[in-house]
Structure 1
Amino acid sequence: MIDTLDILRDDSNILWTLIAAFLVFFMQAGFAMVESGFTRAKNVCNILMKNLMDVSLGSIIFWLIGFGLMFGISNGYVGTNLFLFDGGSEAAKATGNSVGFNWAFLLFQTVFCATAATIVSGAVAERTKFSAYLIYSLLICGLIYPIFGSWA
């Protein structure tokens, strides 16, 4: 009976975390529409590409190094493990969670990180080059967001 309740609790946590991740992911579309509406017609494609690249490149860099910096075992400043996060036994030992929850948590944190980078996209719309914005987005998702998140 207790095992059944533990499994139900774990599965419920995974389901709720995934629902929350999907809702946060849909914020990307909302930001894209708002930013497109506030810019001149000639810059709409640029805005949409910036938002798409926030999710695409931001997810990759956060998976590569950001998650480890944010949630790895801390040395007092940043995390020192869980880079190239695989959600497997090492992560399960480090976090004390099931492998399924670790993957759901990675997805939630990844879309939240991408959303944090996208928020600034509206402020710099029509003001930056696309390549400069990509560098900014990689820095936000790979270093700034994870480091400040690890301190919180």
Structure 2
Amino acid sequence: MDEIKFILDNIWILIATTLVFFMQAGFAMVETGFTRAKNAGNIIMKNLMDFAIGSIMFWVIGYGLMYGKSIGGLIGTPDLLFLNNTDYTALIFQTVFCATAATIVSGAMAERTKFIS
């Protein structure tokens, strides 16, 4: 029975991960819709790079800070590339959430910067 609970919990988390991942595309479309057509490419590339670079940086630094164990227990220690953790379902869910949050913030820069900058 514990195995079935574990499997169902992981399936639910992966479904939620998929929904949050599609929020990323939704925010990109909202930002593109609120800007002029000439900036659409900049917005889409900025959102793609938010996800790509944000995911890598979260794997390297963020996840270890969230779930790592420190001496005092106040903050986690950076586990380079989450080497001491095997909960990959939580890793994927938190990664997608982190990248989507970065995309929300990038909407404030829409039409104010170019992708090259």
Whether TM exceeds 0.5 here: the answer is: yes
**Per the alignment, do residues 107 and 22 of structure 1 end up closer, same or farther by CA in structure 2, a change over 3 Å counting?**
same
3-state DSSP of counterpart to 1:66: helix
Residue 33 of structure 1 aligns to which amino acid in structure 2? M
1:62 and 1:29 map into 2 onto residues whose CA distance is 19
CA RMSD between the two structures: 1.6
2:110 is the counterpart of 1:125:
yes
Say whether the 8 Å CA contact 2:21–2:96 is kept in structure 1: yes
**Per the alignment, do residues 120 and 12 of structure 1 end up closer, same or farther by CA in structure 2, a change over 3 Å counting?**
same
| Structure (1 or 2) with the greater helix fraction | 1
Residue 18 of structure 1 aligns to which amino acid in structure 2? L
Query: How many angstroms does 1:117 deviate by?
Result: 0.3
Say whether the 8 Å CA contact 2:62–2:78 is kept in structure 1: no
Say whether the 8 Å CA contact 1:73–1:79 is kept in structure 2: yes
| TM-score normalized with structure 2 length | 0.90
Q: Name the counterpart of 2:69.
A: 73
**How many residues in Structure 1 have an aligned counterpart in Structure 2?**
116
2:115 and 2:69 map into 1 onto residues whose CA distance is 35
Q: Name the counterpart of 1:137.
A: none
2:19 is the counterpart of 1:23:
yes
Unpaired runs of at least 5, structure 2 = none
Q: Name the counterpart of 2:90.
A: 105
How high is the sequence identity, in percent, across the aligned residues?
63
2:81 is the counterpart of 1:84:
yes
Residue 88 of structure 2 aligns to which amino acid in structure 1? W
**Larger mean Cα displacement after TM superposition, 54-63 or 75-84:** 75-84
Say whether the 8 Å CA contact 2:63–2:78 is kept in structure 1: no
Query: How many angstroms does 1:55 deviate by?
Result: 1.0
Unpaired runs of at least 5, structure 1 = 92-98, 133-152
Residue-by-residue CA offset, 1:15-36 (whole Å, 9 max, x unaligned): 1111110100000110011000
| TM-score normalized with structure 1 length | 0.70
